[in-house]
Amino acid sequence: MTEEELKKNIAHNITSLRKNSGMTQAELAEKLNYSDKSVSKWERGDGVPDILVLHKISELFGVSLNEIIGEEIVIKKEKKLPHMTNRIIIPLLSVGLVFLVASIVFLMLKIFLPSFPKAWILYILALPVSCIPLLVFAEIWWEIPQRFLCVSALIWSVVLFLCLSFENENMNFAVITAAIFQVITILWFIMRYRSKKRKQKAKEQVEINNGL
């Protein structure tokens, strides 16, 4: 790699990193304790920062020195999540929609089949049904504890529905089965949590090694 190619790569990569983070040249210069004229000079390819400044830039943007001087840096854009309020309201709306449908069906039964037994059980059925969209949203937006709670709620709401639907039958088998599923769920999410922690530690170690 020639000196001109090195200057061109550094200029392009610093510019890309700065713009991707939404910084101006003046803001980057302030973080590096340099003037904005120096940053502008680096981005034009008229000069290059010294090794200490390059190291500081790599730490600032979470990349390695090799990436900064490489031909084309791969900028990892974080997946933007909806605002926290929306991550709460949207799942609650899905639950409300399930209970709205249950209410409509309940009303229709009362009108057209007034003698239909246990029409109220529709509201109990709505509990496990509403857990399904909650689980989907938890998988997309939330962390492992919230997913675990949704799965647990699904298991026990199904048991509640069965027990109330067949109250004259012996439902011990359903409760025991649900308890077994609950234990399996606990073990499964413990494995997922530990796997996630291992991946995070491995990623941090790679970043530390790349920064050296």
Exposure string of 40-72, with b = 16+ CB inside 10 Å and e = fewer, is ebbbebeebbeeeebbbbbeebebbbebbbbee
Number of Cβ within 10 Å of residue 82's Cβ equals 12
Question: What is the torsion angle, in degrees rounded to the nearest 10, for the CA atoms of residue 25, residue 30, residue 32 and residue 33?
Answer: 130
Report, at the CATH architecture level, how domain 3-69 is classified: Orthogonal Bundle (1.10)
Domain ranges of the chain: 3-69, 84-211
The tokens for 15 are: 């510019």
How high is the pLDDT of residue 70? 79
CA distance 60 to 58: 5
Contact between 39 and 29 under an 8 Å Cβ cutoff? The reply is yes
* Residues written for the chain: 212
Number of Cβ within 10 Å of residue 31's Cβ equals 12
How high is the pLDDT of residue 211? 44
pTM above 0.85, yes or no: no
Q: What is the pLDDT along the chain (212 residues), one digit of tens a residue?
A: 677 888 888 888 899 888 888 888 888 888 888 888 888 998 988 888 888 888 888 888 888 888 888 766 655 555 555 677 888 999 999 999 999 999 999 999 999 988 888 899 999 999 999 999 999 999 988 888 999 999 999 999 999 998 888 865 567 888 899 999 999 999 999 998 898 888 777 766 655 554 44
